[in-house]
A and B are shown apart, each in its own frame.
Chain A
C-alpha cells in the first residue's frame, strides 16, 4: 500500500487527531514532504483514528505512526506480508508477521535492538519492492472459469 503526503502540519489535522499527550498539536510540523509517496508498513486504527506506519524523511531504523489524514492513498492494494489483528479493546492492526507474532516487536525495534532492526530492514526491502502486478479480479475469475470449464 502506498500513500502520498498531502499535508505535513497539525493545522491540516482533523480535531479528533489533535492530542497534545502524543505531541499532536495544531503547531506540529512533521518530517514529511508534500507530494512524496510513502510505503505503509503497518496500520493501526482505534475509535475512528487511523495511523499509518511510514518511514518519514527522518527515517533511520523504524517506521513511525503518522496520522492518516495527512495522506491520500495512491495504491490501495494491501501487502501480502500483512496479518490482521483485532484486540479485545477494539484496536485494529495490519502488521507484518514478525510484529504479529511478537507483542513486544515494536518496543524492541524502537529500542534499536539489533535483531528487530535487522528484521525490519529486510521487511522494508521486501515491502518496498512488493510486486503488485497481479491480474485484476475480472481477469483472474475469467481464467478460473476457463480452467473449470475445460
Chain B
C-alpha cells in the first residue's frame, strides 16, 4: 500500500476525458470499501483526508472504453460523508500477446 497522497491522473486524450465525464456524472460503482469490505489503503486515506474507515470506497467507471488498443477504466477513492473524490487513475489493460507458435 502507498504512503503519501497520490495526485489525480489526467486523461491523455478525448475518449479518456469522455469516460471520466461519464463516470463522474454517476455512471460508476464501487469495487471495494464500506463497512463490510474495508479498503487496504483506508488508514492512509483517513490520515490524509479524514473521514471514517467504513465510509471510504474504491470506485470504477461502469463503462470501459477501448482506446489505442487498451481496455480503459477510471478508478478513484471516494468518501460520500466528506464529499471527496480523490486519487483518480486510468487503468489501461492491454490484451495479452498471443504465443508465437500458434
Partners in one complex: yes
What is A's interface to B at a CB cutoff of 8 Å? Answer: 20-24, 28-31, 44, 46-47, 49, 58, 60-62, 64-65, 89, 91, 103-104, 106-108, 110, 112, 121
Given A44-B37, A89-B36, A112-B91, residue A60 in contact with residue B31 (CB < 8 A): no
In contact, B58 and A110 (Cβ under 8 angstroms) = yes
In contact, A21 and B1 (Cβ under 8 angstroms) = no
**Which residue of chain A is the closest to B30 with respect to CB atoms?**
A22
B33-83: which residues lie under 8 A (CB-CB) from chain A? 33-37, 39-41, 55, 57-60, 62-64, 71, 73, 75, 80
Interface check B29, CB cutoff 8 A: yes
B83 → A minimal CB distance (Å): 12
In contact, A23 and B28 (Cβ under 8 angstroms) = yes
Report, nearest first, the 10 A-B pairs whose CB atoms are least far apart: A23-B29, A107-B40, A46-B36, A58-B64, A60-B93, A22-B30, A60-B71, A104-B40, A21-B80, A61-B93
Given A21-B30, A28-B29, A107-B40, residue A60 in contact with residue B60 (CB < 8 A): no
Given A60-B71, A61-B93, residue A23 in contact with residue B37 (CB < 8 A): no
In contact, A23 and B30 (Cβ under 8 angstroms) = yes
Interface check B32, CB cutoff 8 A: yes
Given contacts A21-B57, A30-B29, A60-B91, 15 further A-B pairs with CB under 8 A are A20-B80, A21-B34, A22-B34, A23-B26, A23-B30, A29-B62, A31-B62, A58-B64, A62-B31, A64-B31, A65-B32, A91-B36, A104-B1, A110-B32, A110-B75
Across the interface, which residues of A come within 8 angstroms of B30, CB to CB? 21-23, 65
**Which residue of chain A is the closest to B58 with respect to CB atoms?**
A110
A35 → B minimal CB distance (Å): 20
In contact, B93 and A106 (Cβ under 8 angstroms) = no
In contact, B1 and A107 (Cβ under 8 angstroms) = yes
Q: What is the bound-complex CA distance between A121 and B93, given in angstroms?
A: 13
In contact, A58 and B63 (Cβ under 8 angstroms) = yes
Across the interface, which residues of A come within 8 angstroms of B36, CB to CB? 44, 46-47, 49, 89, 91
Across the interface, which residues of B come within 8 angstroms of A62, CB to CB? 31
**Which residue of chain B is the closest to A61 with respect to CB atoms?**
B93
| Partner among A23, A58, A103, A121 whose Cβ is within 8 Å of the Cβ of B59 | A23
Q: Pick the most buried of B40, B71, B93: most chain A CB atoms within 10 A of its CB.
A: B40
